[in-house]
Amino acid sequence: MELAPQTGPNELRKGQPVNAEIIDYHAHIAYKVDIEPFVRKARELGVAMAVNACGPWWGGDDNDAVEAAARRFPDTIIPVGFVALGRGGGPETVEDLHRRGFKGLKMIAPVKDYDDHDYFPVYAKAEELGMPILFHTGVVARGDVWLKRLEEEGRPVPPHDDPREWNMSSRRMEPMCVDGIARAFPDLNCVMAHFGSTGRRDVCEGLIRWNPNLYADMTSYGWAIELDDSRKGWHIEQKHVDYFLQFLRPMRIHQLADKLIYGTDVNTSNDLRLYEATIASHKAIYEACGIGEEGRRKMSRDTAARLLGLD
């Protein structure tokens, strides 16, 4: 059964969702997997999802699929376009995505460092058009391993080149590589993915404190949970909450609520229970870190809405 778009009076301002209580800034569209179950779950949870494609390397679909999903579910899907740095994506790609209604951009797997001057025309165009950029930062999952697993499980695998030729390295996506971009393009808002997880702690914290146009997403904090063996439910696991607190408390993240953004890194082929559980996980962690109501509102929705031009 087709899920009809919800078009209540406050739902579609500037053609995109604003009344969701939560905006998930970091979601991925899986290759040839129907997005409808995810949309249904997101609506039930009061979530609008900023969905990106990020190349075929991790089983993702492309910008056309993101655009189609956003047209089909405009109240729930906020389209974020992928620009393949050094792999054919340029300022004209940014222009095209903007014209098609994409609200933000995603960067991952550049051929050179993110802050290489070859890519500056792309950033200049994004700045000019007011499109924030979500940068993957830190160690990235092995795409070849990922695709092999999809293949073994008989799930859809996007067409791709020989992994040996991918020319990919996590080093080019170190958080520090975003610093030079934030400084050279002060009107461009940049979001570093995966704040505070391994290899992205003190550097990320310093960068978002000093750069007014630099933010980070909280994609690592959905894991203070355990899925129940029955495959039906989930629960918050206090020892996981404590693990996150060990490094979040010394970083005094309650002072950074203006610069941190809710995100899940979910893939639209994932277990729907995880999507629900991740919200509770964030809530438990924010509470334990002493983040107040106003801070939580900014982190969960308001900052993302402002960056994506939805409010």
Name the site residues for Zn ion (rule: CB under 5 A). 265
179 vs 207: CA distance, rounded Å: 7
Residue with smaller CB distance to Zn ion, 158 or 295: 158
The amino acid occupying position 235 is H
Do 94 and 63 touch, CB atoms closer than 8 A? no
Least distance in Å: CB of 87 to Zn ion? 17
Using alpha carbons only, what angle is made at residue 123 by residues 121 and 128, rounded to the nearest 5 degrees? 95
Provide, rounded to whole angstroms, the least separation between the CB of residue 277 and Zn ion: 18
Q: C-beta of 240: minimal distance to Zn ion in Å?
A: 20
55: left (phi over 0), alpha (psi -120 to 50) or beta: left
**Nearest distance in Å: CB 54, Zn ion:** 7
Rounded to a whole number of angstroms, the minimum distance from the CB of residue 193 to Zn ion is 6
- Closer to Zn ion by Cβ: residue 89 or 263: 263
Query: CA-CA distance, 180 to 145, in Å (whole number)?
Result: 32
Instruction: Choose between 140 and 181: whose C-beta lies nearer to Zn ion.
Output: 140
- Which lies closer to Zn ion via its Cβ, residue 91 or residue 263? 263
Helix (H) or strand (E) segment spanning residue 135:
strand 133-135
Helix (H, G, I), strand (E, B) or coil at 69: helix
Cβ 281 to Zn ion shortest distance, Å: 17
Least distance from Zn ion to the Cβ atom of residue 35, Å:
16
Length of the chain: 311
The residue among 67 and 265 lying less far from Zn ion, judged by its C-beta, is 265
Determine the Cα–Cα distance for residues 125 and 96; give it in Å rounded to an integer: 11
Measured CA to CA, the distance from residue 193 to residue 176 in angstroms comes to: 12
Burial class (CB in 10 A: 0-12, 13-18, 19+), 106: buried
Counting Cα atoms < 13 Å in the Cβ hemisphere of 261 gives 31
**Side chain identity at 252, as an amino acid letter?**
R
3-state secondary structure of 250: coil
Nearer to Zn ion, 103 or 291 (CB): 103
Residue whose CB is less far from Zn ion, 143 or 295: 143
